[in-house]
Amino acid sequence: MQVSEKAPIRNNWTEAEARELFQMPFMDLMFEAQQIHRQYHKPNQVQVSTLCSIKTGACPEDCKYCPQSSRYNTDLDTERLMKVKAVLKEAAEAKAKGATRFCMGAAWKSPRAKDMPYVLEMIQGVKEMGMEACMTLGTLEQDQAKDLADAGLDYYNHNLDTSPEFYGSIITTRTYQERLDTLSNVREAGMKVCCGGIMGMGEDERDRIGLLMTLANMAEHPESVPMNMLVKVEGTPLENVDDLEPFDFIRSIAVARIMMPASSVRLSAGRTNMNEQMQALCFMAGANSIFYGEKLLTTENPEADSDRQLFRKLSINSEQHEDVSDEAHEQAILHNIQAEKDAGFFTDATAS
């Protein structure tokens, strides 16, 4: 491919083609990914994502990686649905730090009817601040997706997590097709899609290929593709899974960039376990967004000062006027949760 040629947006990737990308010499793969990245994106800009957990824990799902599941003993304090006032306070703070999109995540299988008025008010409040809004609330029916879109929601996050073949080893309470149906409902309602997966759950290369093929062969690529490296949490079934080889994660970033050239590839959960050199290679591979904040749900995230220092070392300028946040599969920031609880920032929306 000549440098002057722009990589086409494709939706017909074959398994053989994806496998060939994964098996390229590492330097060749990085070179191709960076070339394609520069055709569609500004090379030295990284989008900054801000997240807020509006309802934490007590999730009925059995996702083996997730400390929010009520099925596992992870010592996670369950928190009720935050009051709208508290959420908008978080959004205002995020905007003051340069965010132009605010993402809200709730640990639900699906939003309940009695919760929706609060959720819609949160969206409207964020939009009134001049910010884009995104949410992750679990499975959506068509009418729920329409209500969110009508309230002004720009993006909806709903990850596939892994390949269709490996999915049943990780989750049994929600089918792969249910996830695809939710994404279809989001598209039909006119919202943009944020959808990616988690690496390091015990899957092999075939599963990483299967995940990326599913995403890249959608009729429209997700506008945002969160790439998470598993954060092992004590008490979850995956707490003792073997560590993922860092180069395998970086390869996955590069292949995602090549297969979905125009999408934002988000370096999501797991950055605390990455040194600066690994993060730099992820940016070279085509990642152009990060989560910004002290925590992603119950797992640590590099502090903002550390991110700014790394950006200075790499001469990267955070992007201030475009995409700045999405969910990376139920990984919402837990901002001073106890202090807000004491201040009366929560309302009881967990009772049946």
Q: Which amino acid is at 152?
A: G
| CA pair distance 19, 229, nearest whole angstrom | 20
Strand partners, 226: 266
Exposure string for 244-262, b = 16+ CB within 10 A, e = fewer: bebebbbbbbbbbbbbbbe
CA-based nearest residue to 268, from 343, 333, 344, 336: 333
Amino acid identity of residue 92, one-letter, is A
> Phi/psi at 89 (nearest 5 deg)?
-65, -45
Cα 11 to Cα 94: distance, rounded to the nearest angstrom = 35
Two tokens at 239?
Answer: 């707490």
For residue 302, give the nearest of 271, 269, 325 by alpha carbon: 271
- Any idea which residues carry the catalytic annotation? 59, 63, 66, 103, 134, 194, 266
DSSP for 163-191 reads: -HHHHTTT-SSS-HHHHHHHHHHHHHTT-
